[in-house]
Amino acid sequence: MLDNIRLSTDETAVVIIDQTKLPGKTEYLRLTTAAQMREAIITLQVRGAPAIGIFAAYALYVLARSIPKKADFFGTLKELKNYLNGTRPTAVNLSYALERMLSVAKKAGSNREKVLRALGEECKRIQNEDIAVCRSIAEYALTLLKDDRGILTYCNAGPLATSRYGTALGGIFLGFERGYKFSVYCCETRPLMQGARLTAYELAEEGVNTTLICDNMASRVMSEGKIHACFVGCDRVAANGDTANKIGTSMVAVLAKHYKIPFYVFCPTSTLDMKCKSGRDIVIETRSDEEVHTGYFRERLAPRDVKIYNPAFDVTPANLITAIVTENGICRPPYEDSLKAISR
Ligand code: MRU
């Protein structure tokens, strides 16, 4: 598996795999400036809720190290935090990780070296925690699966979207290691094709039996009896269990309900937003027209002047979700109670 986010050895840069180039090219980017880091999140060079949190934590550390000695350290740190946080609104992991960094810095006192040490430790801790959390989610996921099962997944919630294992894909990888024979159907995930480019790539690289389908084929494969469970990741879970994930996820959940297929959501507890009462309070990112017009097509497909609407996420209502699987256990409805019981 690829090391998708890391700190450079001299701790002056964050090194990432440019996810926009996968699977054709494995290109590493060495990011040193706030503008490059912000751009990396916005353009999805780094993407996936946990991954952007981890990345932003490293980014803030690297940037903190370069705050001039004469500058107002905490004032600048806060500005940098807001600058990075203003990139993508839906995934709560971004603000969660940045808040953690800021609070550690404040607690470390006023000695600059001490604060930097604390920040350096915290970003590494955030990444190491993610690895352990994904491993635990994977173990819980496996309790939901039997051998020879067909699983449908949407977007990418694999190692590239976290730092190892992934959330929705973690159980699939772990089961595969233990000899389970799963058949995984990946939806392409229009318009940015995270399913086709990243999920299909991650699964096929490891040797998992993988089939790529267009998003509008999900109903067909479900009706053919090929799917026994849907596994998806998420960007923010409200206190009532409503869940935001990549645009199109709720469409899969509606279909799963129709075909009586369990629909599972996987996430670290850092993706739970207990302050957010329901899906109505989740801010949905809207992205550029270009992604729909041109995106991964060789040339513009639709008429130049056609109106585009490009919401990047949607909310799956809690009543369509069979269970929400976290590192602390499997939550089932009513989610108001089960999520409260396991949240940090
Ligand atoms: O726009 P993206 O590619 O960042 O969207 C990612 C998703 O929707 C993932 O399913 C989600 O972040 C979970 S990643 C473990």
The strand pairing partners of 246, in sequence order, are 313
Q: What amino acid positions are annotated as catalytic residues?
A: 235
- Give 48 Cα–ligand 1 centroid separation in angstroms: 4
**Token duo for residue 95:** 């603000």
* 158 CA: nearest ligand 1 atom: 15
**Alpha carbons 251 and 3: distance in angstroms, whole number:** 32
Ligand 1 contact via 233 beta carbon (within 6 Å): yes
* SS (HEC) of 59-95: HHHHHHHCCCCCCCHHHHHHHHHHHHHCCCCCCHHHH
Q: Which helix (H) or strand (E) holds 238?
A: strand 236-238
Q: Which of 235, 236, 243 is the best mutation target for the ligand 1 pocket, counting ligand atoms within 8 Å of the beta carbon and taking the most?
A: 235
Class of the 141-342 domain? alpha beta
Ligand 1 contact via 235 beta carbon (within 6 Å): yes
How far, rounded to the nearest angstrom, does the alpha carbon of residue 73 sit from its chain's CA centroid?
A: 31
Ligand 1 contact via 227 beta carbon (within 6 Å): no
For ligand 1, atom 10: residue with the closest CA: 233
Residue 248: phi and psi, rounded to 5, are 110, -15
Ligand 1 contact via 195 beta carbon (within 6 Å): no
Residue with structure tokens 């369509």?
320
**Token duo for residue 93:** 């992991």
Confidence (pTM): 0.96
pLDDT reported for residue 2: 63
Residue with structure tokens 């370069």?
66
- Give 111 Cα–ligand 1 centroid separation in angstroms: 37
Tens of pLDDT, residue by residue, the chain (344 residues) = 568 999 999 999 999 999 999 999 999 999 999 999 999 999 999 999 999 999 999 999 999 999 999 999 999 999 999 999 999 999 999 999 999 999 999 999 999 999 999 999 999 999 999 999 999 999 999 999 999 999 999 999 999 999 889 999 999 999 999 999 999 999 999 999 999 999 999 999 999 999 999 999 999 999 999 999 999 999 999 999 999 999 999 999 999 999 999 999 999 999 999 999 999 999 999 999 999 999 888 888 888 899 999 999 999 999 999 999 999 999 999 999 999 999 86
Name the CATH superfamily, with its identifier, for domain 5-134. translation initiation factor eif-2b, domain 1 (1.20.120.420)
Ligand 1 contact via 162 beta carbon (within 6 Å): yes
**Alpha carbons 199 and 153: distance in angstroms, whole number:** 9
Torsion-angle region of 275 (φ positive above 0: left; ψ -120 to 50: alpha; else: beta):
alpha
Give domain limits for the chain.
5-134, 141-342
Among candidates 207, 158, 202, which has minimal Cα distance to 181?
A: 207
- Give 333 Cα–ligand 1 centroid separation in angstroms: 23
Q: Using alpha carbons, list the distances in angstroms from residue 67 to 61, 72, 77, 339.
A: 10, 9, 8, 40
- Give 229 Cα–ligand 1 centroid separation in angstroms: 19
